[in-house]
Amino acid sequence: MISANAAMNELLEYQRQTEALSSVAERLVWDQETVMPRGATEQRAEETAAMEAMLHERRTDPRIGEWLDIAVPQSPSEERILALIARDYARAGAVPAQLATEIARQTSLGQGIWAAARANEAPEDFMPLLDQILSLKQDEAHALVAAGFGNGDPYDALLDDYEPGATQSQIAGLFETMRPRLVALREAVLDADGQPEPLRGRFAQEAQLRLARACATGFGYDWTRGRMDIAVHPFSSGRWQDSRITTRIVEADPFNCIYSTIHEVGHSSYEQGIDQDHAFTPLGRGVSMGVHESQSRIYENQLGRSRAFTGWLHARMGDMVGGLSIADADEFYRTVNRVTPGYIRTEADEVQYNLHILMRFDLERELIAGRLSTDDLEEAWNARFLRDFGVAVDKPSNGVLQDVHWSVGLFGYFPTYALGNVYAGALHRALRAAVPDLDDSLEDGDATPAAEWLRENVHRHGALFEPGELIESAVGGPVTPEPLLAYLEEKFGAIYDL
């Protein structure tokens, strides 16, 4: 039998190789969504499936269990590493290799088919494959439940992969606490006199990309370890020395590009800010998607849509395009934060964003439980959207086809956006107390004092702590939705003179 020290060293070296291969697999996905030739979809599906088969084999290697039985941690970080490896080993072992490989293959196909169906306004081209993906994810969820994950609930077993320890009942309770105040605020805002004017005009792609790069730089994005590309649905990819962002261009709506970029910079800066000593270990990643979304949402909203930063943005945008339809900086701030019953989640204002998430959360729970079929999904989506937002969906790309998540199998991901907003609200209150002169920097387009505070209190730790433990440490106490709701009521009450 090998010694405890030898077992620890062998396990860490084995894990290092697995983490490196996982990064390579992630790069395949980035390539597919940015620069891969459109005709390569089927080939990429096979490549992705082959990578997943290899990774699944490594993650379920019996030697991991043997090393875990013998290894003795020499520090709190090693103790945490062993706990995370053990959790991943048990989770991977619960899912049959053939199922994991097929999920990888079908979700790789799914992204391309979804994008084409979205472009053609043709949900009928996508729903048959979505039905296959849903069936595979249901099989995965039941396999996880059989292994003890999710406390007997298939949806919770999937949710646990994105937000360890969270349950749908906890999330539902959180939503129900928030919903009445969000709905009341929305109704008051939409009934208010003097609604802000939209920004008018057309903004060339190159001008938008220059401005997006300036915003990313202002938020501390390290271009020596990142890059920006265009994608149908913006995302970030990678970690440590290679963390990339994407954005999208709508010539009539430059805010789409600007705030998508800032949002993804929040994600990517989290990965760039992790202590390099954690690289190629389970600690070298964001601890959960809720914490990840807290970083993207605080960058995008509390900082990027603040009066201080939008003042800089107004001047910079006006200089780049030779003047704006909104000439006054205060009015521009109101325009940036304009509340409208729009269709698109990623473009939703802060007041209504969580209502978009609540709708998706409820629908995907019904899908996983088998109470809603993909044949009825579009009708259910449209009916729910009309009920929640008072607007009829006009086309599939504004409805059931707008999000990429289900096409790539991310069932259980959506609620982490709202949880991220709650975390962001608590972090913002603590940040403002710690950096009281933050607006002085934001007025110059410089968000680095905020980024540095977040790097010190959140980013550098990676997955060293559990999600709730990390945020509670950063904010100095329990996390509740109150800071977020108070921030929204104060901000939009002032904008709309409520």
Q: Is residue 383 part of a domain?
A: yes
Q: Is residue 164 part of a domain?
A: no
CATH number of the CATH domain containing 407: 1.10.1370.30
User: Is 80 exceeded by the pLDDT of residue 93?
Assistant: yes
User: Is 90 exceeded by the pLDDT of residue 498?
Assistant: yes
User: Average pLDDT for residues 459-485, to the nearest whole number?
Assistant: 97
DSSP summary character for residue 225: G
Please say which residue of 121, 151, 181 terminates a domain.
Answer: 151
pLDDT band at residue 321 under the 50/70/90 scheme: confident
Q: Which domain holds residue 55?
A: 4-151
Q: Is residue 310 part of a domain?
A: yes
pLDDT at 320: 83
User: Average pLDDT for residues 95-104, to the nearest whole number?
Assistant: 96
Whether residue 195 sits in one domain with residue 72: no
**How far is 91 from 109, CA to CA, in rounded Å?**
24
Instruction: Pick out the residues of the known binding site for Zn(2+).
Output: 263, 267, 293
Q: Is residue 311 part of a domain?
A: yes
pLDDT at 233: 84
User: Average pLDDT for residues 402-407, to the nearest whole number?
Assistant: 95
pLDDT at 346: 85
Question: Tens of pLDDT along 22-71?
Answer: 999 999 999 999 999 989 999 999 999 999 999 999 999 999 999 999 99
User: Average pLDDT for residues 202-223, to the nearest whole number?
Assistant: 96
User: Is 80 exceeded by the pLDDT of residue 493?
Assistant: yes
How many Cβ atoms are within 10 Å of 493's Cβ, its own excluded? 14
**How far is 470 from 457, CA to CA, in rounded Å?**
8
Type of residue numbered 149: F
Whether residue 206 sits in one domain with residue 144: no
User: Is 80 exceeded by the pLDDT of residue 198?
Assistant: yes
pLDDT at 323: 86
pLDDT at 147: 95
Whether residue 248 sits in one domain with residue 133: no
In total, how many domains does the chain have? 2
Whether residue 211 sits in one domain with residue 115: no
pLDDT at 94: 97
pLDDT band at residue 211 under the 50/70/90 scheme: very high
- SS3 for 348-411 is CCCCCHHHHHHHHHHHHHHHHHCCCCHHHHHHHHHHHHHHHHCCCCCCHHHCCCCCCHHHHCCC
Whether residue 256 sits in one domain with residue 117: no
What pTM was estimated for this model as a whole? Answer: 0.94
User: Average pLDDT for residues 200-214, to the nearest whole number?
Assistant: 95
pLDDT band at residue 1 under the 50/70/90 scheme: confident
**Averaged pLDDT of the chain:** 96
Question: Tens of pLDDT along 155-168?
Answer: 999 999 999 999 99
Whether residue 221 sits in one domain with residue 252: yes
pLDDT at 298: 98
Question: Tens of pLDDT along 435-456?
Answer: 999 999 999 999 999 999 999 9
Whether residue 244 sits in one domain with residue 140: no
Type of residue numbered 168: Q
Whether residue 131 sits in one domain with residue 203: no
Q: Is residue 162 part of a domain?
A: no
264 is catalytic: yes
**Residues 102, 264, 271, 350: which is the catalytic one?**
264
Question: Tens of pLDDT along 408-440?
Answer: 999 999 999 999 999 999 999 999 999 999 999
Whether residue 373 sits in one domain with residue 280: yes
User: Is 90 exceeded by the pLDDT of residue 179?
Assistant: yes
Q: Is residue 157 part of a domain?
A: no
Question: Tens of pLDDT along 241-277?
Answer: 999 999 999 999 999 999 999 999 999 999 999 999 9
User: Is 90 exceeded by the pLDDT of residue 169?
Assistant: yes
The greatest distance separating any two alpha carbons of the chain, rounded to the nearest whole angstrom, comes to 77
Burial 178-190 (b: 16+ CB within 10 A, else e): beebbeebbebbe
Whether residue 141 sits in one domain with residue 262: no
User: Is 90 exceeded by the pLDDT of residue 458?
Assistant: yes
**How far is 93 from 89, CA to CA, in rounded Å?**
6
What region, left, alpha or beta, does residue 203 occupy, with left being phi > 0 and alpha being psi -120 to 50 degrees?
Answer: beta
How many Cβ atoms are within 10 Å of 252's Cβ, its own excluded? 11
CB 255 within 8 A of CB 263: no
Q: Is residue 134 part of a domain?
A: yes
Please say which residue of 151, 180, 199 terminates a domain.
Answer: 151
**How far is 443 from 337, CA to CA, in rounded Å?**
17
State both tokens at 380: 């259910």
Q: Is residue 215 part of a domain?
A: yes
